[in-house]
Each structure stands twice: as C-alpha cells, then as structure tokens.
Amino acid sequence: MKNAGKVVIGVVIGFVVVFGFPFYYNLGKANVPPKLKYDTPAILQYEKQYGKKECVESKEFMSAEHMQLLNQWRDAVVRNGDRIYVNSRGESFHMSLQNTCLNCHSNKKEFCDKCHNYLAVNPYCFSCHIVPKEKQS
C-alpha cells in the first residue's frame, strides 16, 4: 500500500473527531450546578422565628447524605416503630418524608427535582409519598 501512512493518519483523525465529539461539543458551556430554592413559606417562617435556616442536620451533611438518612428513617419507622429522630444538635424530629421533609421543602420541583434531574437520578419516593400541591412552572 502506497499511502498507508496517510490512511493511518486519516483514521486517527476520524477517530478523534467522532469520539471526541462530546468533549468539544460541550467545551466552553458552563456546567452550572442547580441553585436550590429555600424560600418556601415554612422555611421563611422558621427563619423569622429562629433567625437562621437549618435542616435536621447541617446543609453539607444533608446534600451529601440525605439518601442514607432517609433510608435509616424508613427502616426505623416502618421496621422498628421508632418515630422520633434526635439529631446531632439534640433536637427531636418526627421522622416522615411526607409530613416533615416536605412540610418545609414544599417545592419539590424547585428542590428535589432540580438536583435529581441534574444528576440524572430517578428515585421513586414520590410514586407513593404524596407531594404537596405547587403551582405549575
């Protein structure tokens, strides 16, 4: 073959162009993590009363570990019949996704879904647990 070198180079370039597509296609597009909204009436009311916004645990813990925490809550409530969670600050909470979590975070679309869609995860909590009504946006 006379042009073996050129063919090989062509193949390599073709390979880079095709398989590198996702990289250069998204190059320069800022991959902005979603901004979650903490402005539901219940949260604003809490802030007014206590002067701060806080969840059952620290914000860092909740964003990283809420799925494990919810699993523990589920097992404690359904399996062991324990309904009270005492957090690291010593405060007690009624363990309930529907009645405690969603009571403050009544904006599933702006809160749960924002992050879950960004990370392409699809938890099926809400096929049974009822979500509070919110306006279509």
Partner 1 sequence: MSINRRQFLRLAGVSTVLGVGGASVLSALTGKGEAVSQTTPHFTTDPRAITGKRWGFAIDVRKLKTDEDYQKCISACHDIHNVPDFGNPKDSVKWIWKDTYEHTFPTVTEDEIMNKELKEKPFILFCNHCAQPACVRVCPTKATYKRKDGIVMQDMHRCIGCRFCMAACPFGARSFNYRDPRGKDANGRPFIRKENKEFPTRMIGVVEKCTLCYERLAVGLLPACAEASNGAIVFGDLEDPNSEVRKVIDANYTIRRKPELGTQPSLYYVIGGRE
Other Cβ atoms within 10 Å of 18 Cβ, number: 8
Report which of 59, 49, 47, 35 is spatially closest to residue 114, judged by C-alpha positions: 35
Residue 135 lies near partner 1 (rule: CB under 8 A)? no
Question: What three-state secondary structure class fits 94?
Answer: strand
- Contacts for 67 with CB less than 8 Å, ≥ 6 apart: 123
Sign of CA dihedral 46, 51, 57, 59: positive
CA 69/CA 66 separation, integer angstroms: 5
Pick from 40, 43, 55, 95 the residue near partner 1 by CB under 8 A.
Answer: 95
Binding of residue 98 to partner 1 (CB under 8 A): yes
Q: How many residues does the chain have?
A: 137
Stretch that binds partner 1, among 8-16, 28-36, 43-51, 86-94 (CB under 8 A): 86-94
The kind and range of the H/E element at 61 are helix 59-74
Which residue lies nearer to partner 1 by CB, 12 or 75? 75
Closest to partner 1 by CB, 47 or 57? 57
- At its nearest, how many Å lie between partner 1 and the CB of residue 128? 4
The region of 4-12, 30-38, 47-55, 120-128 touching partner 1 under the rule CB under 8 A is: 120-128
Task: Choose, by CB under 8 A, the member of 6, 37, 53, 83 that binds partner 1.
Answer: 83
Residues at the site binding partner 1, with contacts judged by CB under 8 A:
57, 72, 74, 76, 78-90, 92, 94-95, 98-99, 124, 127-130, 132
